[in-house]
Structure 1
């Protein structure tokens, strides 16, 4: 399934491009200490972000694609390529037994606009639709109340707490594990359109 293009009411999700604009956009998320506060890695430099995008493109070309790391842009900017730079990223990682993990990250200046909920809905549509996933999981830092609300609103159920799940900045962090099953997600629940 290459290339992926999902369209929601306000956002479009597409493959990353190995361009200065997309590299800078990923760096604006992954290089920002506030944006990475709850992510399972330390802030990255621009060169690391360029390497990440190269890896994303290699993963996209795999015959049996199992990883979808995608750029999130605003639909309003789509008509102007100079403005249609990513504001974040979205990820699905397929595992065995028709299961997948979901994730997302956004630039802090876009927080509070409901974008994470829209991304989650679009990823659920992709996972439960074309990808045929049965169980979608998400882990969230126990202190990340905003992501807990996003997952809960999307219908995810908390399964439990994973103690000392991630070691970052000299401390162990706990995570909540959430899941959503295919029969719990209404078709088109994310109001997405998939295109090539």
Structure 2
């Protein structure tokens, strides 16, 4: 395993650690009903979050890694990003043919600061530069306007609407599918999205 460490102007993206701090941070994130509102699952308890961190570490150790679930930290929170408490999660899931789906979730107190755009930009760099992928895709709940702004601000294009793509709390919901190709990615810092979540 080659650990992932990405650094932007204000944020770092790193592997999870099986520590109380990382489990608590994931629970603070995924235990918040407002944060999980647009996710395919509802709020998680701490035990489920501990199990998730263990799964993330197993995925990271896979001989042919195809899943990257990474902790997002603020550079201002510690001298070393490895020591900082996570404030969000970034994910990249490879699905063959040099393609992947990406995701980003931030704690509510960090919404609207441009952090999601920075995280997605770092994931694009990982995907297109380090992993030599050709295509990135992202599914976004139709009601999640902030995430749509982040993606379009980075050059992602709308491919269509996926009808009844999700089922949560007894209700079907639609998603938008966005994508970005390697030759459309201008590189880090080329575009700056507006306010985001």
RMSD: 1.7
1:117 aligns with 2:117: yes
Structure 1 residue aligned with 2:57? 57
Q: How many residues align?
A: 191
TM-score by length of 2: 0.93
Q: Using the TM superposition, give the Cα deviation of residue 79 of structure 1 relative to its aligned residue in structure 2, in angstroms.
A: 1.1
More contact order relative to length (CA 8 Å, sep ≥ 6): 1
1:1-196 correspondence to structure 2 within 5 Å: 2-79=2-79, 84-189=84-189
CA contact (8 A) 2:140 2:148 kept: yes
Task: Give the whole-Å Cα distance in 1 for the aligned partners of 2:48 and 2:91.
Answer: 18
Task: Give the whole-Å Cα distance in 1 for the aligned partners of 2:72 and 2:124.
Answer: 15
Task: Give the whole-Å Cα distance in 2 for the aligned partners of 1:32 and 1:162.
Answer: 26
Q: Using the TM superposition, give the Cα deviation of residue 78 of structure 1 relative to its aligned residue in structure 2, in angstroms.
A: 2.7
Q: Using the TM superposition, give the Cα deviation of residue 123 of structure 1 relative to its aligned residue in structure 2, in angstroms.
A: 0.1
TM-score by length of 1: 0.94
Per-residue CA deviation, residues 41-97 of structure 1 (Å, 9 max, x unaligned), is: 111100000000000000000010000000000011131789710000000000111
Per-residue CA deviation, residues 72-129 of structure 1 (Å, 9 max, x unaligned), is: 0001113178971000000000011111000011110110111000000000000001
User: Tell me, what secondary structure is at the counterpart of 1:51?
Assistant: helix
Task: Give the whole-Å Cα distance in 1 for the aligned partners of 2:29 and 2:162.
Answer: 25
CA contact (8 A) 2:13 2:70 kept: yes
In the alignment, structure 2 segments of 5+ residues that lack a partner are 192-197
In the alignment, structure 1 segments of 5+ residues that lack a partner are 192-196
Alpha-carbon spacing, 1:83–1:61, altered in 2? closer, same or farther (3 Å): closer
Of Structure 1 and Structure 2, the greater helix share is in 2
Q: Using the TM superposition, give the Cα deviation of residue 5 of structure 1 relative to its aligned residue in structure 2, in angstroms.
A: 0.2
Give structure 1 regions of 4+ aligned residues with deviation exceeding 6 angstroms. Answer: 80-83
